[in-house]
Amino acid sequence: MNPSAILKAIRNVRILVVGDVMLDHYIWGDVNRISPEAPVPVLHVMRESHSAGGAANVALNVAALGGQASLMGMLGDDEAGRHLTRMLSEAAIDISHCVVAPEVATIVKTRVIARTQQLCRIDREAARHAYALDAAAGVAKLLDSAMANADALIISDYAKGVVTQSLIDQLLVLAAARGVFVAVDPKPARHLNLRGADLLTPNRHEALELAGLPEPGPGETYPLAEICRLIHAEFAPKWLVITLGADGMAVSREGEVAHQLATEAREIFDVCGAGDTVIATLTAALAGGASAVEAASLANRAAGVVVAKMGTATATAEEILSPR
């Protein structure tokens, strides 16, 4: 399938995204002096903006491609939660399976940007256990309902508390019963059992962690073949796609490197959220009937679009197909 045909097929794909939902808040400005109170820059604020982050950004990426996205996560009954709800509703994302919990705060990441340079990040969030979906009342029934019409499931773990081993186990059982394709964006440090997932999408460092290998020393080659073999031995995914930054992307099947793609990025302003774009595009394309290499090629192009933008972003079908 060519990219245009894949994107056309994606319009009929229904994807459920489960994971850590958050609001990304940006404070944009300029710096031209140092504070007299402390050796820190003084930011002259020019504007502020908001975007969906975490699992919410994955869902937005599915919608931007033309797919039908639904989202399940935890929101607080607060202004940030309401802002995020409006944003997702405007993008026609089904949020009826999100849990609104008055006792927790909606996760907010505030990034302070001077021109194109991030000065600092400020996180607002409750204790990790407060976001655990499997502790919410009626969650088993909610999961069953959320999965009912899905063609594919994306588990987006940002290690904020929503994704637990119990939740993964429940989702994998439901997905297996319905023949739903399962993709996971993992956080290796959490040591969760991901066996049963069809697709894993770690980045370069996360793949090393999943394989239990140290970072290569100076002058040492990234051990891609060994990483693929070890991850397959531990988790047995149908497909493993490793994003390698400037070195592009690697596709592995059955523990063997099946294909490598050079990066499609021409300019890189911000890699924030690129992993969300990759897993959304890969999953949507595979669910739409593309081969793994075709899906990876499309995801590689989509990531190239996103990293050329500042802030958490998405790639539309038109942007992906546009000559570059």
Residue 90 has pLDDT above 60, yes or no: yes
Q: Which of 314, 285, 308 is nearest to 297 (CA)?
A: 285
By three-state DSSP, how is residue 114 classified?
Answer: strand
Rounded CA separation 64/276 (Å): 12
Give the model's pLDDT for residue 75: 95
Give the model's pLDDT for residue 309: 79
pLDDT band at residue 135 under the 50/70/90 scheme: confident
User: Cβ distance 69 to 6 under 8 Å?
Assistant: no
Find all residues with CB under 8 Å of 215, minimum gap 6, and list them. Answer: 205, 208
Residues 140, 143, 148: CA angle, nearest 5 degrees = 130
Residue 246 has pLDDT above 90, yes or no: no
Q: Environment class of residue 59 by beta-carbon count within 10 Å: exposed (0-12), middle (13-18) or buried (19+)?
A: buried
Residue 264 has pLDDT above 90, yes or no: no
List 94, 151, 185, 276, catalytic entry: 276
Q: What is the dihedral of CA 58, 61, 65, 66, to 10 degrees?
A: 70
Q: How many CB atoms lie within 10 A of CB 44?
A: 11
Residue 49 has pLDDT above 90, yes or no: yes
Give the model's pLDDT for residue 269: 58
24 bridge partner residues: 51, 109
pLDDT band at residue 308 under the 50/70/90 scheme: confident
By three-state DSSP, how is residue 74 classified?
Answer: strand
Q: Give the CA distances from residue 286 to residues 6, 190, 278, in Å, rounded to whole numbers and listed in that order.
A: 9, 27, 12
Query: Which residue in the block uniquely carries the two structure tokens 């491609």?
Result: 65
Q: Give the CA distances from residue 200 to residues 35, 58, 120, 235, 241, in Å, rounded to whole numbers and listed in that order.
A: 46, 15, 30, 9, 6
User: Cβ distance 70 to 180 under 8 Å?
Assistant: no
Full-model pTM:
0.93
Give the model's pLDDT for residue 267: 62
Query: Lowest-pLDDT range, 50-54, 80-84, 131-135, 207-211?
Result: 131-135
Question: Can you tell me the mean pLDDT for 229-235?
Answer: 97
Q: Domain spans of the chain?
A: 3-22+54-107+128-321
Q: Does the active-site annotation cover 77?
A: no
Looking at the domain covering 3-22+54-107+128-321, what would its CATH class be? alpha beta
278 in the Ramachandran plot: left (φ > 0), alpha (ψ -120 to 50) or beta?
alpha
Find all residues with CB under 8 Å of 71, minimum gap 6, and list them. Answer: 16, 17, 18, 21, 55, 56, 59, 88, 93, 94, 95, 97, 98
Residue 2 has pLDDT above 60, yes or no: yes
Mean of per-residue pLDDT scores for the chain: 92
Percent of the chain with pLDDT over 90: 78
Q: Which of the two residues, 315 and 77, has the higher pLDDT score? A: 77
Give the model's pLDDT for residue 47: 96
The number of residues in the chain equals 324
Residue 67 has pLDDT above 80, yes or no: yes
141-196: pLDDT as tens digits: 899 999 999 999 999 999 999 999 999 999 999 999 999 999 999 999 888 999 99
Q: Cα-flanking dihedrals φ and ψ of residue 35, to 5°?
A: -65, 140
pLDDT band at residue 304 under the 50/70/90 scheme: confident
